[in-house]
Amino acid sequence: MSEPQKEFAIRVRDLVVGFGRQTVLDHLSLDVRKGEILGLVGASGGGKSVLMRTIIGLIPRREGTIEVMGQAIGGRRQGAALTWGILFQQGALFSSLTVRQNVQFPLRENLVLSQELMDEIAIAKLEMVGLLPEDGDKYPSELSGGMTKRVALARALALDPPILFLDEPTSGLDPIAAGDFDELISTLQKTLGLTVFMVTHDLASLTTVCDRVAALADGKIVAIGPMHELLQSEHPWVRAYFHGKRSQMLQHEMR
Ligand SMILES: Nc1ncnc2c1ncn2[C@@H]1O[C@H](COP(=O)(O)OP(=O)(O)O)[C@@H](O)[C@H]1O
Ligand SMILES: [Mg+2]
């Protein structure tokens, strides 16, 4: 580790993760810089979600080290919820709770605050993600896909964490809602100085909001850099991913 570690929000070294006989991550190393939006691409079933869940300590590792904000992950950890917010791939809201109660959930779990203060925070967080105070009274079944993602984002940011993990946040959204969500992430990253770790297949997201893109193949990060560098990568999987027929067509349309 030659570079000074204070530049990095997340440092992963030689990470090995598997289930039974299956090895999913095989000596994977990755650095996420403070304040950047890092996009992660990889084949479906390749281990992107497993990587994210291992970094936040939900999946045990067989080998390797993980540091988040200079603190080693492993064993008991204090204040994880204050360090990161998460939008899971199946990022369901609690269906029996209102939007306001969903956003307040991490506050209730981690802090002791008056109801009045929690209501103020919920309104502020909803506003931050482009929703109205009235939306707080709605139930998840009453929301559009785009609104659901925004509420999940408001909940992830309830405790003002410095790091945000997003697992395919725009999948399932129409292109306009996806574009709006990307813009929101980009604005929040700039105004709050967030570090964002985002798993995505969305070429538009990769091109427009990510500072760097990392490619996961064969259990390792095989390429990492700004999008224009990834497009030059000689790695066979990365080439196939960005220069396959389907992505060529999309890149052409985006020009
Ligand atoms: N909790 C688990 N138990 C067993 N196998 C798992 C578990 N979570 C993920 N896997 C396996 O790990 C591999 C990577 O999964 P995942 O990280 O979800 O892929 P993706 O890159 O699509 O997010 C898959 O083969 C999946 O079946
Ligand atoms: Mg996944």
Asked whether residue 195 is assigned to any structural domain, the reply reads: yes
What does the pLDDT read at residue 75?
A: 54
Asked whether residue 40 is assigned to any structural domain, the reply reads: yes
Q: Give the closest ligand to the alpha carbon of residue 215.
A: 1
Tens of pLDDT, residue by residue over 36-89, are 999 999 999 999 999 999 999 999 999 999 999 988 887 555 567 778 999 987
Q: Which residue has the tokens 């349309």?
A: 253
Q: Is there a single domain that holds both residue 69 and residue 169?
A: yes
Asked whether residue 37 is assigned to any structural domain, the reply reads: yes
Q: Calculate the dihedral angle through the C-alpha atoms of 48, 162, 80, 213, rounding to the nearest 10 degrees.
A: 10
Q: Is there a single domain that holds both residue 228 and residue 170?
A: yes
237 phi/psi in degrees, rounded to 5: -70, -40
Q: Is there a single domain that holds both residue 30 and residue 63?
A: yes
50 lines ligand 1 (CB under 6 A): yes
Answer whether 67's CB lies under 8 Å from 54's CB.
Answer: no
Q: Is there a single domain that holds both residue 252 and residue 169?
A: yes
46 lines ligand 1 (CB under 6 A): yes
Q: How far is CA 214 from CA 39, 98, 124, 127, 157, in A?
A: 6, 36, 33, 32, 24
Q: Is there a single domain that holds both residue 115 and residue 196?
A: no
Between the CA of 86 and the centroid of ligand 2 the distance, in Å, is 13
The closest alpha carbon to 86, from 174, 169, 184, 203, belongs to 169
Tens of pLDDT, residue by residue over 224-240, are 999 999 999 999 999 99
Q: Is there a single domain that holds both residue 147 and residue 99?
A: yes
Rounded to a whole number of angstroms, the CA Rg of the chain reads 18
* DSSP-derived 3-state class of residue 210: coil
Give the end-to-end CA distance of the chain in Å, rounded to a whole number. Answer: 39
What does the pLDDT read at residue 92?
A: 78
C-alpha 80, offset from chain centre: 15
Nearest CA to ligand 1 atom 8: 50
Q: Is there a single domain that holds both residue 193 and residue 255?
A: yes
Domains contained in the chain, number: 2
Q: Is there a single domain that holds both residue 169 and residue 235?
A: yes
Asked whether residue 89 is assigned to any structural domain, the reply reads: no
The closest alpha carbon to 79, from 13, 154, 10, 163, belongs to 163
Tens of pLDDT, residue by residue over 133-169, are 999 999 999 999 999 999 999 999 999 999 999 999 9
Tens of pLDDT, residue by residue over 187-230, are 999 999 999 999 998 888 899 999 999 999 999 999 999 999 99
Q: Is there a single domain that holds both residue 100 and residue 203?
A: no
- Banded pLDDT at 5 (limits 50, 70, 90): low
Asked whether residue 179 is assigned to any structural domain, the reply reads: no
Asked whether residue 11 is assigned to any structural domain, the reply reads: yes
Asked whether residue 88 is assigned to any structural domain, the reply reads: no
Residue span of the structural domain in which 212 resides: 1-83+163-174+184-255
CATH number at residue 246: 3.40.50.300
pLDDT tops 60 at residue 3: no
Q: Is there a single domain that holds both residue 75 and residue 101?
A: no
47 lines ligand 1 (CB under 6 A): yes
Q: Is there a single domain that holds both residue 77 and residue 108?
A: no
226 phi/psi in degrees, rounded to 5: -60, 155
The closest alpha carbon to 196, from 179, 178, 209, belongs to 209
> Angle at CA 13, nearest 5°, toward 7 and 15?
140
Q: Is there a single domain that holds both residue 72 and residue 110?
A: no
